[in-house]
Structure 1
Amino acid sequence: MSDLRLTCALLTSVGLCVAGPARADLLDDSHLTLGLRNFYVDRDFKQANAPKSRTGSWSQGFDLQFKSGYTDTPIQFGLDLGADFAYRLDGGKGRSPDGVLPVSTDGSPVKDYGRANLAVKLRYSKSELRIGDQRPNLPVVSYDPARQLVTRYEGAVLESREVKDLTLTAGRLWSITGRESSEREDLYLWGDTPAQASDGLDFAGATYAFTPQLSGSYFYAQLQDIYRQHYLGLVHKAALGGGFTLKTDVRYYNTREQGQALSGRVDNRTYGLMFSLSKNGHTLGAGYQRMLGLDTFPTFNNYAPAPFLINWSALGFVKPGERSWQLRYDYDFAAVGVPGLKWMARWMEGNDIDLGQQSHETERTSVLSYVVQSGLLKGFGANWMNIGVNVRESSRYEENRLALTYSVNFW
Structure 2
Amino acid sequence: MYKSSLALAVALGVLAQQAGAAGFVEDSKLSLSSRTMYYDNDNREAHATAATATRPAGKRPDQRETGQGFKLDYISGFTEGTVGFGIDAQALWGIHLDGGRGYHKSGFMPDASNGSSVNQWARFGANAKARFSKTEAHFGSALAPNLPILVANDGRVLPQTFEGGTITSKEIDNLTINAGQLTHAMGRASSNRTGLSVNGASADSNKFRYGGLDYKLTPDLTLQYYYSNLEDFYKQHFLGATHVFKIADDQSFKTDLRYFDSSSDGKNGDGGNYDFNNNGGYEKNEGKVDNKTWSAMFTYTLGGHALMLGHQQVSDDGGFVWLNQGSVTDGNGRAEGAGGASFYLFTDSMINQFARAGTNTTFGQYSYDFARVGVPGLKASVAYLRGTDIRNDSGHGTYSEWERDARIDYVIQEGTFKGLGASLRHGIYRGEGESPADQDQTRLIVNYTYNFM
Query: TM-score, normalization: structure 2?
Result: 0.86
Are the aligned partners of 2:411 and 2:420 in contact in 1 as well (CA < 8 Å)? Answer: yes
Residue 408 (structure 1) aligns with: 450
Q: Which residue identity does 1:157 align to in structure 2?
A: T
Residue 292 (structure 2) aligns with: 269
- Following superposition, the deviation at residue 98 of structure 1 comes to 5.6
Provide Cα deviations, 1:61-82, integer angstroms capped at 9, x if missing partner.
Answer: 1101111111112210001112
Secondary structure of residue in 2 paired with 1:7: helix
Q: Which residue identity does 1:310 align to in structure 2?
A: F
Whole-Å separation in 1 of the counterparts to 2:352 and 2:134: 39
Secondary structure of residue in 1 paired with 2:112: coil
Q: 1:145–1:358: structure 2 CA closer, same or farther, 3 Å change rule?
A: farther
Provide Cα deviations, 1:86-113, integer angstroms capped at 9, x if missing partner.
Answer: 1111111511216311112321111111
Residue 335 (structure 1) aligns with: 372
Q: For 1:185, which of 157, 175, 194 is the aligned residue?
A: 194
Q: Aligned ranges for residues 259-338 of structure 1 at < 5 Å?
A: 259-261=266-268, 262-263=274-275, 264-299=287-322, 300-302=324-326, 303-313=339-349, 314-338=351-375
Are the aligned partners of 1:358 and 1:392 in contact in 2 as well (CA < 8 Å)? Answer: no
Residue 237 (structure 1) aligns with: 244
Q: 1:304–1:233: structure 2 CA closer, same or farther, 3 Å change rule?
A: farther
Provide Cα deviations, 1:244-292, integer angstroms capped at 9, x if missing partner.
Answer: 3111110000000112223341101100010111101101111111111
Residue 41 (structure 2) aligns with: 43
Q: 1:110–1:198: structure 2 CA closer, same or farther, 3 Å change rule?
A: same
Secondary structure of residue in 2 paired with 1:360: strand
Provide Cα deviations, 1:139-193, integer angstroms capped at 9, x if missing partner.
Answer: 1111111111011101101001111111110000100011111110000111112
Is 1:88 the counterpart of 2:96? The answer is yes
Whole-Å separation in 1 of the counterparts to 2:316 and 2:83: 47
Aligned length: 406
Q: 1:358–1:372: structure 2 CA closer, same or farther, 3 Å change rule?
A: farther
Q: For 2:156, which of 126, 142, 147 is the aligned residue?
A: 147
Are the aligned partners of 2:316 and 2:391 in contact in 1 as well (CA < 8 Å)? Answer: no
Secondary structure of residue in 2 paired with 1:10: helix
Q: Which residue identity does 1:256 align to in structure 2?
A: S
Residue 3 (structure 2) aligns with: 2
Provide Cα deviations, 1:187-206, integer angstroms capped at 9, x if missing partner.
Answer: 0111112xx21121000000
Query: TM-score, normalization: structure 1?
Result: 0.94
Are the aligned partners of 1:156 and 1:173 in contact in 2 as well (CA < 8 Å)? Answer: yes
Q: Is the deviation greater in 26-35 or in 111-120? A: 26-35
Residue 63 (structure 1) aligns with: 71
Q: Which residue identity does 1:341 align to in structure 2?
A: L
Residue 131 (structure 1) aligns with: 139
Q: 1:295–1:152: structure 2 CA closer, same or farther, 3 Å change rule?
A: same
Q: For 1:167, which of 146, 164, 176 is the aligned residue?
A: 176
Q: 1:293–1:198: structure 2 CA closer, same or farther, 3 Å change rule?
A: farther
Provide Cα deviations, 1:200-232, integer angstroms capped at 9, x if missing partner.
Answer: 100000001111111111000011121110001
Gaps of 5+ in 2: 269-273, 276-286, 327-338
Whole-Å separation in 1 of the counterparts to 2:418 and 2:234: 45
The root-mean-square deviation of aligned C-alpha atoms, in Å, is 1.7
Is 1:374 the counterpart of 2:398? The answer is no
Are the aligned partners of 2:153 and 2:340 in contact in 1 as well (CA < 8 Å)? Answer: yes
Q: Which residue identity does 1:200 align to in structure 2?
A: K
> Which contiguous aligned blocks of 4+ residues in structure 1 show a shift greater than 4 angstroms?
none
Whole-Å separation in 2 of the counterparts to 1:238 and 1:341: 26
Are the aligned partners of 1:288 and 1:311 in contact in 2 as well (CA < 8 Å)? Answer: no
Are the aligned partners of 2:289 and 2:318 in contact in 1 as well (CA < 8 Å)? Answer: yes
- Following superposition, the deviation at residue 294 of structure 1 comes to 2.0
Q: For 1:78, which of 62, 86, 97 is the aligned residue?
A: 86
Whole-Å separation in 2 of the counterparts to 1:118 and 1:129: 14
Provide Cα deviations, 1:40-66, integer angstroms capped at 9, x if missing partner.
Answer: 011112112376431021111110111
Whole-Å separation in 2 of the counterparts to 1:53 and 1:227: 35
Q: For 1:386, which of 405, 408, 426 is the aligned residue?
A: 426
Between structures 1 and 2, the one with greater helix share? 1
Q: Which residue identity does 2:438 align to in structure 1?
A: R
Are the aligned partners of 2:15 and 2:87 in contact in 1 as well (CA < 8 Å)? Answer: no
Residue 23 (structure 2) aligns with: 25
Whole-Å separation in 2 of the counterparts to 1:2 and 1:321: 44
Whole-Å separation in 1 of the counterparts to 2:261 and 2:342: 14
Percent of aligned positions that are identical: 33
Whole-Å separation in 2 of the counterparts to 1:408 and 1:239: 36
Secondary structure of residue in 1 paired with 2:107: coil
Are the aligned partners of 1:142 and 1:304 in contact in 2 as well (CA < 8 Å)? Answer: no
Are the aligned partners of 1:204 and 1:221 in contact in 2 as well (CA < 8 Å)? Answer: yes
Q: For 1:120, which of 128, 131, 140 is the aligned residue?
A: 128
Whole-Å separation in 1 of the counterparts to 2:363 and 2:385: 4
Is 1:257 the counterpart of 2:247? The answer is no
Q: For 1:346, which of 368, 377, 383 is the aligned residue?
A: 383
Are the aligned partners of 1:358 and 1:391 in contact in 2 as well (CA < 8 Å)? Answer: no
Residue 284 (structure 2) aligns with: none
